Amino acid sequence: MTVAPQFQHKNGVLHAENIPLPELAHQYGTPLYVYSRQALRDAWAAYQEAAQARDVLVCYGMKANSNLAVINEFKTLGSGFDIVSGGELARVLAIGGDPGKIVFSGVGKQAWEMRAALEAGVKCFNVESEGELERLDAVARELGKMAPLSLRVNPDVDAHTHPYISTGLKENKFGIAIENALDVYRRAATLGNIQIVGVDCHIGSQITEAAPYLDALDKLIDLIQSLAAEGIHLQHLDLGGGIGIRYTDETLLSPRVLLDQVFKKLDSHGLGDLQIILEPGRSLVGNAGILLTAVEYLKHSPAKNFAIVDAAMNDLIRPTLYDAWHDVEAVQTRQNTDEALTYDIVGPVCESGDWLARDRPLSLQQGDLLAIMSAGAYAFTMASHYNSRPCPAEIMVDGYQAHVIRPRETIESLFQDESVLP
């Protein structure tokens, strides 16, 4: 089993930092998202150490977890932000984030989102199509502003990850094909309200080896050199995010190992002065959170044993969407493990796809608490109200203190803005 350092058993009881999880369940109810402030800080420190005083801007990929308390923590530590919507821009501005450290990614930016980002003064737009380039120039012209631009280049590199989170292949919707990038840069250079500042590449998520990054970097270096030969000089190189976390037994890629090789390759080509931008999301928050849930019923049959819990696919959709693995920890361990059975952990939603884990050996009784591990990324941000289920509360633990960073929704709040016809 994989347990994050801030979520450990003490005297047989799983804790979040120094707080026993049963106390949180009793006070705030279940299901419940629980995050560790120290885990966020430790994950950030790994990137700072990897930068080695080089010019590296880490922009947190906030689609992983956009709670204001989470992004404020990273802002305080010095992070920039990788955003993919006007809503995420508004969240960064709401906590006083520096717009000059925001990169705006995403394939479908609308004109209003471009206007908001230009008026805020973001660092860069990562443009993903020729149509977006033309629209960005037009919007900037309307506002009388220059739009800082980086093209997101698709290098056709296999990141060896799940197809749904692989973004650097030709058949993916993201970016501009590497063979077309030079022509699009040439077009950008002719536009009156576009300022070319960089190049961007993001090949996928949950990547556990350096080779795909370095393969993409080789192609980007060729492009950068071709641009320089035509008088187009870049200020930064954005390698995206995607470093994986340990859900079970993955061999991890550390930021230091990756950046050491990136710096070496850039220096060997005389490109060591380029600012490096990284856009980590999952690797900063994934193992910093859990989903705490209670066993409502145990259901046994000749074919399967089911532990029916109060969390569901609308609280954590990754297992049913990606067939993703999340460790499941019993919050209170039992001395007699001979009673362990193999369970599917399932929720109350009316879908056969409503499962959180399959075939897990656990010794359970009705009313037990379970912790679904590694739920800090893509859990709450992908949650829904399916079956008219309110979203759980989010709690941030800091040592011996627990802070409600988002209260549990009420049933009434789900339909308070709806109306019926007269």
Burial call 336-371: b when 16+ CB within 10 Å, e when fewer: eeeeeeebbbbbbbeeeebbbbeebebbbeeebbbb
pLDDT in tens, 386-409: 999 999 999 999 999 999 999 999
Q: What is the pTM of this model?
A: 0.94
* Structure-derived torsion over alpha carbons of residues 137, 139, 144, 148, reported in degrees to the nearest 10: -50
Percent of the chain's residues with pLDDT above 70 = 95
∠ CA 157-159-165, nearest 5°, is: 115
Non-local CB neighbours of 198 within 8 Å, separated by 6+ positions: 124, 149, 150, 234, 235, 236, 237, 238, 275, 277
- Every domain of the chain and the residues it spans: 7-36+286-415, 105-280
Catalytic residue among 59, 124, 201, 350: 350
Beta carbons within 10 angstroms of residue 29's beta carbon: 14
Amino acid of residue 290: I
Question: What span, in angstroms and rounded, lies between the C-alpha atoms of 101 and 92?
Answer: 10
pLDDT-based confidence at residue 36 (cuts at 50, 70, 90): very high
Please write the tens of the pLDDT for every residue from 146-181: 999 999 999 888 655 544 444 444 556 778 999 999
Each residue's pLDDT tens digit, 191-246: 999 999 999 999 888 898 999 899 999 999 999 999 999 999 999 999 999 899 88
Convert the pLDDT of each residue in 133-147 to its tens digit. 999 999 999 999 999
CATH topology of domain 105-280: TIM Barrel (3.20.20)
CATH number given to 7-36+286-415:
2.40.37.10
Give the model confidence (pLDDT) of 268-279 as tens digits. 999 999 999 999
Q: Is 350 a catalytic residue?
A: yes
